[in-house]
Chain A
Amino acid sequence: MANQYDIIVIGGGPGGYVAAIRAAQLGFKTAVVEREHLGGICLNWGCIPTKALLRSAEIYHYMEHAKDYGLSAQGIGFDAAAIVQRSRGVSGRLNGGVGMLLKKNKVDVIWGEAAISKPGEVVVTAPKKPAMQPQHPTPKGVLEPGTYQAKHIIVATGARPRALPGIEPDGKLIWTYFEAMVPPSMPKSLIVMGSGAIGIEFASFYRTMGADVTVVEVMPQIMPVEDAEIAALARKRFEKQGMKILTGAKVTKVEKGANSVTATIDDGKGGTLTITAERMISAVGVVGNIENLGLEKIGVKIERGVVVTDGLGRTNVHGIYAIGDVAGAPMLAHKAEHEGVLCVETIKGLHTHAMDKGKIPGCTYCNPQVASVGLTEAKAKEQGYDIRVGRFPFVGNGKAIALGEPDGMVKTIFDKKTGQLLGAHMVGAEVTEMIQGFVIAMNLETTEEELIHAVFPHPTISETMHEAVMDAYGRVIHM
């Protein structure tokens, strides 16, 4: 039976395609349904292309500061179209790579929009959603819309930008990350609504490229999920770079001009101000893609806009699974990938443990970078822990000074009673590449003792991690 599969994954994003490959490895006959782009938002309109943009910004920043390193550079400038083109190229290359990986693993790709007609059956129709442009070419050899059977159906449809009523993105003056990813030209001024990872990364990119950027955040701190001390340090750096930041403030009204947006902002202290900018980015979170999948019809339980699962991807309906953003927070690609693997291994009957969501790291690639895992200081106290806190600034680290990156800090939080590492928070150069050290430590349930006894390579910025652990126990050396 050509239309018969063991597993059909709806959605070819990082959760979906990874689940499909793992399924194929385990011997399942597997297909992925995708309507727009293999690799999902992450690879096409999210994580990856923004990293390409931010890399351009970083190099531009270094060029502007060439003198600091004893170099001279004249006539520094940029070509916005070329920056975007490079970003699209990076995305396109990886998009093609996903197609190859699926092919290599003999995973079929069905092109279209899927709906579950009943458990065990998926009806695929031609894509209705207009694809965001520019679009990578549709992979070769995809299967046509039709009715397909599968014993197990995994919903991995991801999420999309949330829109605030009255401030709906129009794609021209008010952007979502889609438009912000491919600016026709660099706006001279920009309002960024929301200071989560997406908002702050675009704010950082556009500020570095010279735009006049104002960030409006409704919560009392920027990057609300991060440790307050780290967020405050990052904010200081952003402000030093010329970014304007309003916290505890809310955009209440937006008026559109011919080539401008005027936002009325409640400053949270009883005052109101208006800011006019060329463009506005709405980055107020994402919502799960739960619609038009037939989920309600077959009785799949949905709560607060996401599919309810048992932590191993199983929904309340036998044979229907959900992973990634559509299955709830944290809406991160690496969480989706891990969940996809867990789900498929559970289907296979392998011994799986539900993911410990308290140990999923988060990374933001602004300048300076921010990375964290586990509990913030406030959360740890809130949960009743008696804690020890360690801190170490980059100014005490030889490598950071040599790199010319003295602005940064590592902060560790330990349970005073057991020595358990409860959380680790970092701001500064390269911290997104370092956080995994603490992630492994937490997953292995290390205490301060093993971390103190571990030898960290010298000279590296990672030595700040070691020092931050020792500081929590009064044993810091370089401070």
Chain B
Amino acid sequence: MPINILMPALSPTMEKGNLAKWLKKEGDTVKSGDVIAEIETDKATMEVEAVDEGVLAKIVVPEGTADVPVNQVIALIAGEGEDPKSVTAPPGGGAPAPAPKAEASAAPAAAPAAQANTVQGDANAHLSYARVDQAPAGPAQGARPNGAGQQAGGGRVFASPLAKRIAREAGIDIASIQGSGPHGRIVEKDVRAALQSGGAKPAAAPAAAAAPAPAPKPAQAPALAPSMGADQVKAMFEAGSYEEVPLDGMRRTIAKRLVESKQTVPHFYLSLDCELDALMALREQINAAAGKDKDGKPAYKLSVNDFVIKALAIALQRVPNANAVWAEDRILRMKHSDVGVAVAIEGGLFTPVVRKAEQKTLTAISAEVKDMAGRARNRRLKPEEYTGGSTAVSNLGMYGIKDFQAVINPPHGTILAVGAGENRVVVKNGAPAVVQAMTVTLSCDHRVVDGALGAELLAAFKQLIENPMGMLV
């Protein structure tokens, strides 16, 4: 029997991913631990390691394929003594995939469990896994749109008759439910659990309309305003006057998250000018004092942004009520200042998080941001490196932007938009004076941070920026 290599779930919430690249060809010998493919998910690119040994007999999903559901067969490995040529792809390019153990348990347990290389109930289906050491902290999901009960391509849903009937009568889409029965079959208790948690998608309109039962509690986000479909948009332009660019995982996530943010998070904005003379002088002094490394380069070179991160981190400690995120029925107030840093990359952006920034030295923050930004550009960040935090810094000063308002990256409570530092004429002691200054704008989630609280945070930030020695002690 050939061994199935399945599309791995790289995080507990992952539903599908793009098969970015095959690193082995058909006919190649693979050993356990060999990196065989790269998968592009929400934001990151991950390596898929082989769990089994043999000859890569058949690549079922070619590279460049988008939206491959988790657990779909992506390749086949011929076992010992098998002729790789005789190995054929399963019908329809996919196979009903057994549910990995991981899915049944809560999120934190998910990733380690996913590394167990056997899938229950089917000795031949082996789970590949990615180099993910830790699951990102995320809500456990009671439902996901390509449940293991569903065959790739929206085909047959493996569910018990009773499960199907209860789902139908409750007006929910059974395919959105995760099955816990044999081979991932959706059984009664899965549907009941989904109904209870509200973690199932409503069924398509006709079915829902036909169901007299009260609609189940909608999942998290309220209904979004429908936007135009691709055909509608294309109809407005002359054919051939544009190039169609397919969406990658990152673009899709940016679109989803920021629409969600602008539609569900009540934003308001606070702007403030900060004088930078003292900070620039201090920065020059510190950078001048940097020792040389073995290549003769300075050991560090602090940027204004490093100071901004540090100042925001300390300000959050001074105004702890603003160091918080909205969690539907409660607010989570953070103990440490985990500050995200928006990093523009080819085709999108990442927001890696500097953890406990209030405790870190400027040089440590600088080095960390440099390392994460570099890896972000290569799409080599781990999910846990860009998950979490209560705020973020978005700096467009290097483009000469004077000021702007950033969109909050949910579930953050705030985001700080930083404009360019420039010479400005201000009135000092009744006389015009030239100072270096920059404008910062804090976007606040009003559910968490009210106007006065946001102003307090921004005032604390300004105080630190204008008196930067306070950041060193």
| Residue in B120, B165, B187 whose CB lies within 8 Å of A418 | B165
Least CB distance from B366 to A in Å reads 47
> Does A351 touch B at the CB level, under 8 Å?
yes
Q: Which of A187-195, A207-215, A444-452 contacts B (4 or more CB under 8 A)?
A: A444-452
Asked if A419 and B120 sit within 8 Å, CB to CB, the answer is no
Asked if A445 and B101 sit within 8 Å, CB to CB, the answer is no
Asked if B120 and A420 sit within 8 Å, CB to CB, the answer is no
> Does A350 touch B at the CB level, under 8 Å?
yes
Contact mask for chain B residues 148-190; partner A; CB cutoff 8 A; 1 contact, 0 none: 0000000000001111011001000000000000000001100
What is the size, in residues, of chain B's interface with A at 8 Å between Cβ atoms? 12
> Does B121 touch A at the CB level, under 8 Å?
yes
With most chain A CB atoms within 10 A of its CB, the pick from B160, B161, B187 is B161
CB-CB contacts below 8 Å: B379-398 with A: none
Least CB distance from A354 to B in Å reads 12
Given known A-B contacts A351-B101, A418-B165, A445 and B160 have beta carbons under 8 A apart: yes
| Residue in B120, B162, B187 whose CB lies within 8 Å of A447 | B162
Asked if A445 and B121 sit within 8 Å, CB to CB, the answer is no
Asked if B120 and A449 sit within 8 Å, CB to CB, the answer is no
Asked if B121 and A418 sit within 8 Å, CB to CB, the answer is no
Question: Bound complex: CA of A449 vs CA of B187, how far in Å?
Answer: 17
Least CB distance from B211 to A in Å reads 13
| Residue in A350, A351, A444, A447 whose CB lies within 8 Å of B165 | A447
Question: Bound complex: CA of A446 vs CA of B161, how far in Å?
Answer: 5
| Residue in A350, A351, A417, A447 whose CB lies within 8 Å of B161 | A447
The main secondary structure of chain A at its interface with chain B is loop
Question: Bound complex: CA of A418 vs CA of B189, how far in Å?
Answer: 13
Chain B residues near A449 (CB, 8 Å)? 161
Asked if B165 and A419 sit within 8 Å, CB to CB, the answer is yes
Chain A residues near B166 (CB, 8 Å)? 418
Asked if A445 and B161 sit within 8 Å, CB to CB, the answer is yes
Asked if B120 and A445 sit within 8 Å, CB to CB, the answer is no
Question: Bound complex: CA of A192 vs CA of B187, how far in Å?
Answer: 44
Least CB distance from B309 to A in Å reads 46
Given known A-B contacts A351-B121, A418-B166, A420-B188, A450 and B101 have beta carbons under 8 A apart: no
Question: Bound complex: CA of A418 vs CA of B160, how far in Å?
Answer: 12
Asked if B120 and A446 sit within 8 Å, CB to CB, the answer is no
Question: Bound complex: CA of A419 vs CA of B162, how far in Å?
Answer: 7
Chain B residues near A420 (CB, 8 Å)? 162, 188
Least CB distance from A364 to B in Å reads 28
Contact mask for chain A residues 422-448; partner B; CB cutoff 8 A; 1 contact, 0 none: 000000000000000000000011110
Question: Bound complex: CA of A447 vs CA of B168, how far in Å?
Answer: 13
With most chain B CB atoms within 10 A of its CB, the pick from A350, A420, A445, A446 is A445
Chain A residues near B163 (CB, 8 Å)? 445
Question: Bound complex: CA of A450 vs CA of B164, how far in Å?
Answer: 12
Question: Bound complex: CA of A49 vs CA of B351, how far in Å?
Answer: 74
Chain A residues near B160 (CB, 8 Å)? 444-446
With most chain B CB atoms within 10 A of its CB, the pick from A351, A417, A449 is A351
Question: Bound complex: CA of A447 vs CA of B101, how far in Å?
Answer: 28
CB-CB contacts below 8 Å: A195-239 with B: none
Question: Bound complex: CA of A351 vs CA of B187, how far in Å?
Answer: 16
Chain B residues near A444 (CB, 8 Å)? 160-161
Contact mask for chain A residues 133-160; partner B; CB cutoff 8 A; 1 contact, 0 none: 0000000000000000000000000000
Asked if A350 and B120 sit within 8 Å, CB to CB, the answer is yes
Asked if A450 and B161 sit within 8 Å, CB to CB, the answer is yes
CB-CB contacts below 8 Å: A396-421 with B: 417-420
CB-CB contacts below 8 Å: A65-123 with B: none
Chain A residues near B187 (CB, 8 Å)? 445
Question: Bound complex: CA of A417 vs CA of B188, how far in Å?
Answer: 13
Question: Bound complex: CA of A227 vs CA of B121, how far in Å?
Answer: 36
Chain B residues near A446 (CB, 8 Å)? 160-162
Question: Bound complex: CA of A418 vs CA of B161, how far in Å?
Answer: 10
Least CB distance from A338 to B in Å reads 15
CB-CB contacts below 8 Å: A443-476 with B: 444-447, 449-450
Least CB distance from B70 to A in Å reads 18
Chain A residues near B169 (CB, 8 Å)? 417-418
Asked if A418 and B101 sit within 8 Å, CB to CB, the answer is no
Residue of B nearest to A350 (CB): B120
Residue of B nearest to A420 (CB): B162
Least CB distance from B177 to A in Å reads 14
Question: Bound complex: CA of A59 vs CA of B156, how far in Å?
Answer: 51
Question: Bound complex: CA of A449 vs CA of B168, how far in Å?
Answer: 14
Least CB distance from A317 to B in Å reads 25
Question: Bound complex: CA of A172 vs CA of B121, how far in Å?
Answer: 52
With most chain A CB atoms within 10 A of its CB, the pick from B101, B121, B160, B187 is B160
Residue of A nearest to B104 (CB): A351
Question: Bound complex: CA of A447 vs CA of B160, how far in Å?
Answer: 9
Chain B residues near A445 (CB, 8 Å)? 160-163, 187-188
Chain B residues near A419 (CB, 8 Å)? 162, 165
Residue of B nearest to A352 (CB): B120
Least CB distance from A25 to B in Å reads 13
Residue of A nearest to B162 (CB): A445
Question: Bound complex: CA of A447 vs CA of B162, how far in Å?
Answer: 6
Question: Bound complex: CA of A287 vs CA of B220, how far in Å?
Answer: 52
Residue of A nearest to B98 (CB): A351
Chain B residues near A417 (CB, 8 Å)? 169
Least CB distance from B160 to A in Å reads 3
Question: Bound complex: CA of A267 vs CA of B274, how far in Å?
Answer: 97
Question: Bound complex: CA of A22 vs CA of B306, how far in Å?
Answer: 63
Chain A residues near B188 (CB, 8 Å)? 420, 445
Question: Bound complex: CA of A168 vs CA of B349, how far in Å?
Answer: 82
Q: What 10 A-B pairs have minimum CB-CB distances, sorted nearest first? A: A351-B120, A445-B160, A445-B162, A447-B161, A420-B162, A446-B161, A450-B161, A445-B188, A447-B162, A447-B165
Q: List 9 A-B contacts (CB under 8 A).
A: A419-B165, A444-B160, A444-B161, A445-B162, A445-B163, A447-B161, A447-B162, A447-B165, A449-B161
Known contacts A417-B169, A445-B160; can you find 20 more A-B pairs with CB under 8 A? A350-B120, A351-B101, A351-B120, A351-B121, A418-B162, A418-B165, A418-B166, A418-B169, A419-B162, A419-B165, A420-B162, A420-B188, A444-B160, A444-B161, A445-B163, A446-B160, A446-B161, A446-B162, A447-B162, A449-B161
- B residues engaging A (CB < 8 A)? 101, 120-121, 160-163, 165-166, 169, 187-188
